[in-house]
Amino acid sequence: MNYNKFERARIIGARALQISLGAPTLIDANEEMLPIEIAQKELEKEVIPITVRRKQEQKHHFFGELS
């Protein structure tokens, strides 16, 4: 799925917060990587378990699964 820059920022920020609070990483990451770098790599590989909700029309929504 193609995400705009605002969706990408929100996804990476939310996932980096989860990682910094102790969530397990979904890729092989070394201990030197920062949570935001890990989140960016996870987004590149499309393994982040986050759903994006887009408003398309006034009453309809589109849900896009990331993984």
pLDDT tens-place values along the chain, 67 residues long: 789 999 999 999 999 999 999 999 999 999 899 999 999 999 999 999 888 888 766 666 567 776 6
Torsion 13-21-39-49 (CA) sign: negative
- For the chain, the structural domain boundaries read 5-65
pTM over 0.95: no
Q: Which CATH class is domain 5-65?
A: alpha beta
Q: Is 66 exposed, middle or buried (0-12, 13-18, 19+ CB in 10 A)?
A: middle
CB 37 within 8 A of CB 18: no
User: What letter does residue 30 receive in the DSSP assignment?
Assistant: -
Cα(12)–Cα(14) distance, integer angstroms: 6
DSSP state of 23: P
